Amino acid sequence: MDANGILQELITLSHELALESRQLVILGEGNTSADAGDGTFWIKASGCQLGNIDESGFSRVSYDAVRDLIGKGPLSEEQVEAGLMEVLADKTQRKPSVETFLHVLCLMQPDVKWVGHTHPISVLQILCSKLGAEPFLRHLFPDDIVVCGIAPLVIPYIDPGLALADTIREELQRYQEQHGHSPKIILMENHGLVALGKTSRDVLNISLMADKFARVLQGTYALGGPNYMSQKEVERIDNRLDEHYRRRMLASK
């Protein structure tokens, strides 16, 4: 698929994530990105809405330029604003989202080509509570393991932009060292959800399953609390050959 085809698929993904019935984002919340395959990636432009976004709502950004900007260390808000215009592969396009830094780090992970950052009401009801991300650290049902992976990456609330990117970079490295692969889901307390996928369908599936998990979890608290699966049961599901096959099939649909 060429860069324009990837952009069209990214527009479709954005519209899917923004369907009002799903309650994953409202107004200008959230952002999406995709690897263009040539050293650049598409990212939602600042201020655009995923629900009605079109080609003009995305900016094409240079991986190297964003990495260089992150490497410059602490920058003022004015320097960040100017830097976001400098990383554009096409200088006539709009300023990319301040979450460009988060997206580049996710897209640099092995097998990650698509990223969707949303603010699901169901997930935020938990991430904004005194429990934070803790209830998400264990599993309630097999499909959650199959789609969202064996463990999320959890990030405490940090100011969006370069400060968040610095922590994301460190925690992604730590996650890789611990698990030997990239996370499928990042939970940012008091902020939102990030889905990392090899395909656009991966990102949509992960986002929807995280929403389902949060809804089921809230229901369990009304009936005595969650009945989590054991670690042995979780590892069995994660390693079953038929579940590996199902993962591949789900990602391709």
Full-prediction pTM beyond 0.85? yes
DSSP state of 187: E
Tokens 């830097």 sit on residue: 83
* Domain ranges across the chain: 3-252
Task: Name the pairing type of β-strands 114-118 and 31-35.
Answer: antiparallel
Taking alpha carbons only, the member of 35, 31, 27, 92 closest to residue 66 is: 35
* Digit-coded pLDDT (tens) for 41-93: 999 999 999 999 999 999 999 999 999 998 887 888 899 999 999 999 999 99
The Cα–Cα gap between 57 and 122 comes to 27
Q: Is the pLDDT of residue 38 over 90?
A: yes
* Digit-coded pLDDT (tens) for 83-92: 999 999 999 9
At 154, the amino acid letter reads V
Could you say which of 1.10.1200.10, 3.40.225.10, 3.40.50.800, 1.10.10.60 is the CATH number of the domain covering 3-252?
A: 3.40.225.10
- How many of the other CB atoms lie within 10 Å of CB of 192? 21
Q: Mean pLDDT, to the nearest integer, of 26-33?
A: 94
Q: Write down the mean pLDDT value for the chain.
A: 93
